[in-house]
Amino acid sequence: MGICDNRTVLITGAGGGLGRAYALAFAAEGANVVVNDIRAEAAQAVAAEVRAAGGRALADSGDIASVAGAQAIVDAAVAAFGEVHVLVNNAGILRDRMFLSLSEEDWDAVMHVHLKGHFCLANVLGRRWRDQKKAGRAVDARIINTSSGAGLQGSIGQSNYAAAKAGIAALTLVQAAELARYGITVNCLAPAARTSMTEGAMPDLVKKPESGFDVWDPLNVASIVVWLGSPLSAHVSGRCFEAKGGELSVADGWRTGRIADKGARWAPAELTAVVDRLIAESVAPQKVYGT
């Protein structure tokens, strides 16, 4: 018996890296897995790997960044397994440049895959789950989004990616608040693992060690994702987890800090001392990656 028995999980970008690890880990806990990746051969290879290990998997290469494509993916999943209970929005791309070197195409491509890619499947499945709840059916659904340390703290050379990932963290908060009434929890993850993206950006840091614990193994991160997709996590929503190796933490996001209230309109010239005092009394933000 696994903690995800009789649940169907749809994972985007599952043809390698973290998505592949999630697919294998969910299947090991009894879930049916829909392996979605724009690279059809990669999706098929991971689905075959899941089946070879005794799991159940469907390979899919549908378009996650259009509502029509998302609907087709969900239809295929329902046809294969009867229902979808968990969505893991994992697919992503990089177009790294310093901000002033970014092209419009660099910006649009990252926003399209990350932000619109997170919207479409969640919207299609969210409507499906809402309708089931309104019809009196029990719903215990999950949306697991993917943010990043770059989105939570910023990252030099990644303004497009950081902005998209910060948007995903904010999207998670709103989805969690709006969808709770329908039996849907929404959380996000900022993972750190060896993937094609991190190997391209920092190959020496993430390479597999010759011996000992492999901190950067994507399967380390998969543990919290599988737990979030299981019935065990029904009481947790609207949170952003950071995971790497054996480390797990809950990120503490923007919140209103100490307030200076004059009780009247501030004169611009008097604000220097006020702002300096507020900053001095606040918790210093984490440094932007790369600084």
Domain boundaries, the chain: 8-250
List, in sequence order, every beta strand (DSSP E) within 202-258: 240-244, 247-250
Residue 201 has pLDDT above 70, yes or no: no
d(CA 135, CA 193): 41
Confirm whether pTM is higher than 0.85. Answer: yes
Q: Average the pLDDT over 29-57 and give the result.
A: 98
Structure tokens at 207: 């390479």
Q: Average the pLDDT over 80-98 and give the result.
A: 97
Q: Average the pLDDT over 24-41 and give the result.
A: 98
Q: Give the pLDDT score at 22.
A: 98
Element (H, E) at 136: none
For the chain, the average pLDDT equals 95
Q: Which percentage of the chain shows pLDDT scores above 70?
A: 98
Residue 231 identity (one-letter amino acid): P
Q: Give the pLDDT score at 199.
A: 62
Residue 12, sorted as left (phi over 0), alpha (psi -120 to 50) or beta, turns out to be beta
Cα of 88 vs its chain's centroid, Å = 7
Catalytic residues: 148, 161, 165
Domain 8-250 = CATH 3.40.50.300: no
List, in sequence order, every beta strand (DSSP E) within 124-244: 141-146, 184-191, 240-244
Q: Are 132 and 139 in contact (CB under 8 A)?
A: yes
